[in-house]
Amino acid sequence: MKRSEKAIGSVANYVDERTGAAKWLKKNLTKVFPDHWSFMLGEICLYSFIILLLSGTFLTFWFDPSQRDVVYNGAYSPLSGVSMSSAYASTLHISFDVRGGLLMRQIHHWAALIFMAAIVAHLFRVFFTGAFRKPREFNWIIGIGLLTFGIVEGFLGYSLPDDLLSGTGIRIAEAIIQALPVVGSYLAFFAFGGPFPGTAFIPRIFIVHVLILPGLFLALITIHLMLVWYQKHTQFPGPGRTEKNVVGYPLMPVYMAKAGGFFFIVFSVTAFLGAVASINPIWLYGPYTPGQISAGSQPDWYMGWLDGLVRMAPPLETHAFGHTISWNILLPGLILPGILFTGMALYPFIESWVTGDKREHHLLDRPRNAPNRTALGAMSIAFMIISLVNGGNDIIATHFHLTINGIMWFTRIGLFIVPPIVFIITKRICLSLQRADRDLVLHGKETGRLVMLPSGEMVEVHEQLTDAQKWTLTQHQQPDALPAPLPESATRGLKGKLRKRMNQAHAIQIPAPTLSELKELDHH
């Protein structure tokens, strides 16, 4: 043994004797994780969060969260001599006078957009593969919490520089608070410390943005990952993979290397975007003044659907007992998002109630094998995209020479018509894919090779799948309709009838090849 090795060994031994770390490490470093590209979407979220923490800390060194009036005298001449808030002036200072400041600001903002996009993509993966099923319902709810807080955190960050665009966003947020019946005006006064815009709001949201929500994120992400660790990662079905094992590679060295490398790739993509593409050019927007607004004022994309819903809401108002209820804001700004997010958080429980499936699941569904769920997901995405389109209706109108009223009516009607159509089409596609799987298992792949038999008949040679492939395509359990596993009493009443209808819809499947069909095939 070399001297240096000896020294390291004795240090390690010293630490181990006092902490017992070796045993713990030995156990946990060999933990096995399954491998699939879609399992790395969550990693993108984690890594962009780390980038956000690092770049955000850099920005706090110069950002002054204050609405105190100052006269700008910095490097950006088109604004020199203009009166503005200190928050805006310090953001200009970061952009033009701090070395690397603009790059850091852009990295921070691009990382935020990537963070949110990756959360949504990760959510899609978890939803469409059924990874939220028992025992992972709590982790699903934590994920929905992270998504919700991410939207709030992003919006607050977008609001901090106090530029013309973000001030407009805060104004809309104030309107949504005010739309709450009875308490709205009081809450808005409370949040803004008086009438809009006041001088209290930016210092307040700064603390929420840099301390409270990041702390909450750290806590929730830790629980999220600990649950993944403890419950083990789900895996796609395949030969040798069961509900009781995990087939994959050990954390050390495979995933350490992979995850570490992937972190740097996420960082480099974010830094690349920050270096080549302008984002939130606040110097062009100008400082916020309540009397000013720009055409085409938009929120960041993860709020865009909300903005689109508010834009398409018809002008409904009720006056009762000296109060005005603005349905045009309340409905799209609070009630509808509330229903959507509650429904999303409760979905694992709703699905298990509909299917009557209370078993644990560690093997993932292929999306086609759960046609109803897949169709529901596609329908929700269609809903969001239509709202999002209306959120950018003015930009679409000018760039594609369309009428903004036409786009609004298209989305108003489309919001109700397109999602059901998408549901039906997706479900049919799923069933067709099931049929294709069945065909593939029973008849094999079409090789395109034609053979002429002695009798003169021409046939195409079909190549049989391997046993492993056949297993992958046929291993899943297809759901039975209620009330087979459940007593008749569970399907009585209005609630019961609803459940029965939904359950039957859920159970529509193309029968997978049975064992006897496969055996018969082997005799040929």
Partner 1 sequence: MNKFTQFRRRKIAGPILVVAALFTIGTAFGIASALPGAQPAPSSSTSPLVSQGKAIFLRGCSSCHGLNAEGGAIAPSLIGVGAAAVDFQVGTGRMPMADMSQQAMRKKPVYNADETAALAAYVASLAPGPASVTSENLNWQRDGNIAQGGQLFRTNCAMCHNFAGQGGALTNGKYAPSLMGVEPKYVYEALITGPQSMPKFSDTTITPQEKLSLIAWLQSANHEQNLGGASLGRVGPVTEGLLVWTLGLGLLIGVAVWLAMKAR
1 near partner 1, judged by CB under 8 A: no
Applying CB under 8 A, among 405, 432, 477, 514 the residue interacting with partner 1 is 405
Applying CB under 8 A, among 161, 167, 214, 286 the residue interacting with partner 1 is 286
* Nearest alpha-carbon partner for 224 in 119, 124, 129, 154: 119
280 near partner 1, judged by CB under 8 A: yes
Nearer to partner 1, 56 or 154 (CB): 154
Task: Report the nearest approach of partner 1 to the CB of residue 95 (Å).
Answer: 8
Applying CB under 8 A, among 50, 121, 152, 490 the residue interacting with partner 1 is 121
The answer to whether 408 and 436 have CB atoms below 8 angstroms apart is no
Only one residue has tokens 């156990």, namely 27
> Which of the stretches 219-227, 274-282, 372-380, 489-497 binds partner 1 when contact is defined by CB under 8 A?
274-282
296 near partner 1, judged by CB under 8 A: yes
* Nearest alpha-carbon partner for 342 in 67, 72, 122, 145: 145
Which residues between 151 and 180 bind partner 1 (CB under 8 A)?
A: 164-165
Cβ burial of 506 (10 Å; 0-12, 13-18, 19+) is: buried
Which residues between 18 and 47 bind partner 1 (CB under 8 A)?
A: 35-38, 40-41, 44
191 near partner 1, judged by CB under 8 A: no
DSSP state of 449: E
Which residues between 416 and 475 bind partner 1 (CB under 8 A)?
A: none
73 near partner 1, judged by CB under 8 A: no
114 near partner 1, judged by CB under 8 A: yes
Q: What is the chain's length? A: 524
b/e for 348-376, b at 16 or more Cβ within 10 A? beebbbbbbbeeebbbbbbbbbbbbbbbb
Kindly state the number of chain residues that form the binding site for partner 1, as judged by CB under 8 A: 74
The site string for partner 1 over 376-395 (x = CB under 8 A, - otherwise) reads: ----------------xxxx
CA distance 499 to 485: 14
The answer to whether 34 and 235 have CB atoms below 8 angstroms apart is yes
97 near partner 1, judged by CB under 8 A: no
Task: Report the nearest approach of partner 1 to the CB of residue 189 (Å).
Answer: 27
The answer to whether 86 and 66 have CB atoms below 8 angstroms apart is yes
Nearer to partner 1, 402 or 421 (CB): 402
Which residues between 229 and 258 bind partner 1 (CB under 8 A)?
A: 249, 254, 258
* Tokens standing for residue 448: 């395109």
